[in-house]
Structure 1
């Protein structure tokens, strides 16, 4: 007797993020996801006085939370603002999960964008029967040599996580990436872990990159998305990348564990900062990809070359396109983070 196959209707989904970023980036992230299928967007503004708040408040389907003292007294077990951004992100993601009305919720950073090859809601509806998280593999933006005209310029390299398994002692990462291997996590400078979505109304808890079941540390089972991938802009401009590395040095080691590849970047950045032109040279080495390196990654299937331009979607959703020039972005970044950007090129 043939199996009866019921095709469920597409699931609704939304995103949640905690952010303290230039207004251009916040509007881009919110508008992109609203325009590509999200039914809800939950934005937690790490700065309760964030000037982007009125703009976001005026958008339908966007829920804005100013993370002031009252918010942390409600959300944080200590009743106080947690010292690290990771802890604040996790608490806010699960706060959003508890109050959202969508079928699935995705936890993202403001510099991460989901791009779909086919409708995400259809995949989520099917995956719900598996009782697991939906995992989005990451692709990280790389700059092309030459001047950067907008914050979206470049191509993307994909991570090697789950592609490499060997026990003969050969360092595959070093074979592919050479001397850069120490600064990379499965082929990317940021994170190779990707991000995930979980269904509402079950016993899932959202972490930064993956989900848990129940109240303990049991990792949720996962299904790797074949409908969407995560584009990560680990530094929308060189200035933002330098500021990001500087932020990691501000944390108490007792509160924050820095990944090995990120620590290697921080160490190299400290040395580069003491040499005239050193920062620019290091950025070119680690963040730019020339024709030969592109060809090498392309041969391994590790290059995603579809351009990302959110402008048409934002024009339709927001009725405007923010200024995405490098100059405008960096000016806003310096205004928001004067101490963290001081002295950086």
Structure 2
């Protein structure tokens, strides 16, 4: 059966090294087209991206939001902007299937995704990609911001008749800070076919005028690697950024709210922040063994540098220090907080 084509859509405001790595990885592993919506319309990377084959770049300026947003202005939350842009791209794309992703998410295939899509098309549903979330190995130097291993989700493993939640036993005191064993999301992302009645959401799709959740088929070819915090600083800044949102505008999951509350409480205590990151994201041998014992440890390493070099002709600096400098330069309010800690 002939493979079907697929593409990606993302709304981004990220350091150059991460964004280029993501785009090059997916172009190099089969994406026919990628629609990049620059959340900052003045992002200096625009010209560089426009020169790359396969990319469709949109600056999210007043003209764009006037034509895309129902209220004719820039939506207050990033999730709303992502959803609007994803469906804008779905109407414009030429590939057979489109996937909404974030810049810190990477699809890894065990066999060509296009082959699976050709068969899943018969099912009249979305194709979902289960997430694996990056964790750091305690004491191991972080060579690049992709270093580490991955934990997988307990989603679908928790059926019991006695009222006990397995995750409470597996994760103990960390249980309130996790969703199915993840600090970020356990929902994954999905691909939807072009030219039908689908509406792409952040993690899943809807169909028809009543916006019913689409039927889904879980991919057996492709997994989503999620780097929820490329560096410790990135994770801290992400949580504090969520804390700035008005609760009436952005619905935040309970486990994420619990993380935000802790980070907000310790924001001016650098030692506490380091300890919190270590507790939640840095795994020693005993904790790795526990994940391994429950079948929740994906021990494959992710090193995209060969693919990136094939696509770009060079590899951006993927070391953590310059990434953090770019984060600070792009987030002046949070930079003041970081400076206060030094």
Task: Check whether TM > 0.5.
Answer: yes
1:57 aligned partner: 50
Instruction: Quote how far apart the aligned CAs of 1:143 are.
Output: 0.8
Instruction: Quote how far apart the aligned CAs of 1:269 are.
Output: 1.2
- 2:255 pairs with 230, 255, 261, which one? 261
* Cα deviation 1:287-317 (Å, max 9, x = unaligned): 1111111111111111111111110000000
Question: Is 1:168 aligned with 2:154?
Answer: no
1:220 aligned partner: 214
- 2:182 pairs with 178, 188, 192, which one? 188
1:287 aligned partner: 281
Instruction: Quote how far apart the aligned CAs of 1:285 are.
Output: 0.1
1:70 aligned partner: 63
Looking at structure 2, the residues matched to 99 and 70 of structure 1 have their Cα atoms a distance apart, in angstroms, of 17
SS in 2 for 1:342: helix
Report matched runs for 1:97-246 at 5 Å: 97-146=90-139, 147-246=141-240
Q: Which runs of 4+ in 1 moved over 3 A?
A: none
SS in 1 for 2:9: strand
Two-structure CA RMSD over aligned residues (Å): 1.0
Looking at structure 2, the residues matched to 308 and 131 of structure 1 have their Cα atoms a distance apart, in angstroms, of 32
Instruction: Quote how far apart the aligned CAs of 1:69 are.
Output: 0.4
2:327 aligned partner: 333
Runs of 5+ unmatched residues, structure 2 = none
SS in 1 for 2:162: coil
2:336 aligned partner: 342
Contact 2:158 2:165 survives alignment (8 Å)? no
Contact 2:239 2:260 survives alignment (8 Å)? yes
Instruction: Quote how far apart the aligned CAs of 1:168 are.
Output: 1.1
2:30 aligned partner: 37
SS in 2 for 1:143: strand
> What is the TM-score when the length of structure 2 is the normalising length?
0.97
1:4 aligned partner: none
Contact 1:157 1:297 survives alignment (8 Å)? yes
> What is the TM-score when the length of structure 1 is the normalising length?
0.96
* Cα deviation 1:161-196 (Å, max 9, x = unaligned): 112112312121111111111100100000000000
SS in 2 for 1:277: helix
Instruction: Quote how far apart the aligned CAs of 1:276 are.
Output: 5.1
Looking at structure 2, the residues matched to 33 and 275 of structure 1 have their Cα atoms a distance apart, in angstroms, of 39
Cα distance, 1:123–1:276 mapped onto 2, change above 3 Å = closer
SS in 1 for 2:108: strand
Question: Is 1:83 aligned with 2:81?
Answer: no
The worse-fitting range, judged by mean Cα deviation, of 160-169 and 178-187 is: 160-169
Looking at structure 2, the residues matched to 193 and 240 of structure 1 have their Cα atoms a distance apart, in angstroms, of 22
* Cα deviation 1:12-64 (Å, max 9, x = unaligned): 00000001110111101100000000000110000001111111111001000
Cα distance, 1:252–1:325 mapped onto 2, change above 3 Å = same
* Cα deviation 1:75-121 (Å, max 9, x = unaligned): 00001000000000000000000000000001100100000000000
Contact 1:272 1:282 survives alignment (8 Å)? no
* Count of matched residue pairs: 338
